[in-house]
Structure 1
């Protein structure tokens, strides 16, 4: 073993829990990596493969490439879809489920920066999306996966990274931080119980409990359930393009001192933790309403966010905040009118303002925004936003509607 490199052992284990059925075999991957396959992919990439042309395009591919047409078309379609996650996916290989689970490049790069200078073993590397970011930041990056097809694809996608086939529940490296991304889908369906992940989260935490580890989880994971599984450390929730992408578990040795929850908003570069001040007040609406980023809400850091930006809460149990100025780069809603909510009163108020199109946001009330919008039957010429929230508690609570002008 070369000096400075982690010790890698190759182990395999039958997985009686079952693996997702994939359209590719190892021989398909070998063909796609070959000169003939590369040329064929170049030709298929010229096809539109739109809803209108799909049948004809597939038939054309079959005439030219016979039984290989299916994997060629599938790879081309997946590469086009991958553009939403990767900046340069044109020469990558994927399975459908691997692409669904692949980390968006900005999220992977953010995590890799936090692991900069460390020796990292991605023990569920799949097709290599995390490794592509790690190899540029980590002191050393290695990968393994139990799925031979995904591993063969990773050998193509990140050809300069050391890879081996191994089961994540049987550790095969020493002296590394272990990165884990257990599968949260089976047959295209999401699994919400972390014990139903593949591998199960409780088993992963038990196996790697004595080592520095990072575990990528579903954004909606139950934090209390994670604690009951024995996890202690930091839970970091990350958002990108206005959407919460993941909750990531950082073991105590990698967590920031005094931090157990973190919200990272990659769109603005802002981070909030539970070590930040959280002193804020509850008060009526001011000039602006702010709906905090989903990562802030999911991480339970609404008060911390409010304290940082000089905002206050409309209600202690509702995430909407208010203030006299907007935080930089944040979309807000300028309050034009406030009324006790009823459909009739809201319709009258919007009609009086000559509103035609309305964006409706709700919190703490059982209202379907799309259904309400249709029932309002507005015929004006202006645009507006309506924020509906339940203010107060118990018998004193009431649904309140705020008619607003969005900042953008």
Structure 2
């Protein structure tokens, strides 16, 4: 829910009281009405705004600073810090530290501190005056109220524009660049001659974009596609950036582009199952870099047209499944029963099968955790019976 300007000022001026009063509340969707009623005794008509802020902060732990002003929508839409750092590093490495970045859809200021930490000069703007006010309070940066299509700064005053057009309309995801809000052609036209970095949904049709397209995942979940002007690349057209936050020593970043392995060629790299079956990270799949990734990691494909990989090791920082046997789909239930399958992870690609329905049909009652990869090899749908997910490290 949106705030009024008066509510934003109240939230800013009563941070300590809000933190104390909301510490013991559940702050869930089902408890929202009860929580707001409890807060009304202390905060009166501002209770709704207080409960909204507290719930948004709790939901964004690890993603946004705990003392920031935010609403539920702005917190949910915020870019993960590790993803923003990848973008800031690219901009700084190509334009140099000190380059002036204008985030024309800065919302509550999520990326401004990350860009500044990379040595870049930052300015923000947002069409929503309340969000722009929260951004100023949160970051201390210069933030204007402006339409992304009407730059508030004079031409030539900035070196690169960052934008995050709305990716949904009428509750449905937008898949065409010309239907983003604002439309991508209009956005580019409004900043003609300026390098841009435009954040988009991973499913966007970016086939006509001339510069680098970077697909970024965090812990296996694809978060965004970012379209960069050619000036912000080194000749690559597609990139997959895989960020892992689960290890020690900070995030681990793995990057692969279509320039790796000399373009990967068109020759077949398909072969029979190896020791492990690997389902590539979604960023690699969406970037169309499965072959590049396979060649880099010494893996091969089960079928040149299907994005399942196999090999005799699991790449560092990823997981796979120890291969047991390949069976026709009609014999899968019997094979799983033979192996004493209990809990089951199901992966499907290239075959028209609903994993949930398949799980119900299999009705496994054993105790052994297992996995099954349902895929297509040649013209046949097959099932690869496997052990549970593993990183391939022998800890015996």
**TM-score scaled by length of structure 1:** 0.86
**Residues 204-213 or 101-110, more deviating:** 204-213
Q: Which residue of 1 aligns with 2:255?
A: 271
5+ residue gaps in structure 1?
A: 1-21
Aligned ranges for residues 32-111 of structure 1 at < 5 Å? 32-34=11-13, 36=14, 38-50=16-28, 53-86=31-64, 88=65, 90-111=66-87
Pick aligned residue for 2:377 from 384, 391, 401? 391
Contact 2:144 2:152 in 1 (8 A): no
Within 1, Cα distance between the matches of 2:259 and 2:223? 22
* CA displacement at 1:121 relative to structure 2: 1.1
* 1:269 aligned counterpart, secondary structure: strand
- Structure 1 residue 200: Cα displacement: 1.5
Please tell me whether the aligned partners of residues 289 and 320 of structure 1 are also in contact (alpha carbons under 8 angstroms).
yes
> In structure 1, what is the equivalent of residue 249 of structure 2?
none
1:201-241 CA deviation, whole Å, 9 max, x = no partner?
121122224111111111111122xx1xxx32100100001
Q: Distance in 2 between matches of 1:346 and 1:93?
A: 53
1:228-269 Cα offsets, whole Å, 9 max, x none, are xxx32100100001100000011011111x201000001141
Residues 209 and 312 of structure 1: is their aligned pair in 2 closer, same or farther, counting only changes over 3 Å? farther
Q: CA RMSD in A?
A: 1.8
Q: Which moved more, 1:71-80 or 1:137-146?
A: 137-146
Residue 189 (structure 2) aligns with:
206
Give the whole-Å Cα distance in 2 for the aligned partners of 1:93 and 1:307. Answer: 46
- For the residues of structure 2 that align with 1:176 and 1:51, how far apart are their CA atoms? 43
SS in 1 for 2:274: coil
Of 84, 95, 107, 1:126 maps to: 107
Say which of 159, 175, 181 aligns to 2:158.
175
Q: Give the match's secondary structure for 1:167.
A: coil
Q: 1:29 maps to what in 2?
A: 8
Q: Could you tell me which of 324, 329, 344 is aligned with 1:358?
A: 344
User: Counterparts of 2:31 and 2:253 in 1: how far apart (Å)?
Assistant: 41
CA deviation map 1:128-173 (0-9, x unaligned) = 11112111113311111111010011011112x1221221111233
Q: State TM-score, norm by structure 2.
A: 0.89
In 2: Cα distance, 1:50 partner to 1:120 partner: 37
Q: 1:334 aligns with which of 322, 326, 330?
A: 322
Unpaired runs of 5+ in structure 2?
Answer: 245-251, 392-396
Change (3 A) 1:138 1:172: farther
Over residues 180-210 of structure 1, what are the superposed CA-to-partner deviations in whole Å (9 max), with x where a residue is unaligned? 1112235665333333322221211222241
